[in-house]
Amino acid sequence: MYSWKSAYLRSGLVFGVVVIGLSTCNHPTGLLQIGEPYSLRTINGRALPYAVNGTADGPAVTQGSVTFLAGAQAQRWERMGRRGASSADSVVWEWMQPGSYYNQLGRVIVRYSNWQPGQQNGPRAAADTLEATASGGFILRQAGQVLQFCPGNEDC
């Protein structure tokens, strides 16, 4: 016999399991790594160094990362170098921008605390939206580029 009490109990149980599952998982596809950088691995599907203007000896993004810290704090870092005839990297510029983050379903939003409009070095906007990937990394789409960040030094 169908009882509204048993239906209410079942729906409450299902709702409770969903809430517990969502609240125990900081990362949309697993646990968000705290204190360990997610390394920039590719830009537009190409491994680093990524030539910004397409020339072999021009400026290239050589390294980058996003790190989530305790207390919902984050930092993003990037280094650009110039590759010469010796194939040795020389640093042209690098930047690190602190901020805070929060989770949304399937993504993490990072808001930069020191971002200024028109700044030369640093993120292109006051906030970045990092989309979670099934492999545990993140995709950042900005200014026609697709940046892929992976846990540690792994490919994802």
> Among positive and negative, which fits the CA dihedral 143, 34, 31, 156?
positive
The more confident residue out of 85 and 98 is 98
The CB density around residue 44, as the number of other CB atoms within 10 Å, is 10
Residue 101 neighbours by CB under 8 Å, 6+ apart: 68, 72, 73, 74, 108, 109, 110, 111
pLDDT grade for 53, boundaries at 50, 70 and 90:
confident
Name the pTM for this structure.
Answer: 0.76
Mean of pLDDT values over 123-139: 94
Percentage of residues in the chain with pLDDT exceeding 70? 76
The pLDDT, as a whole number, for residue 70 is 95
Mean of pLDDT values over 28-34: 71
Residue 27 neighbours by CB under 8 Å, 6+ apart: 33, 103, 108, 132, 136
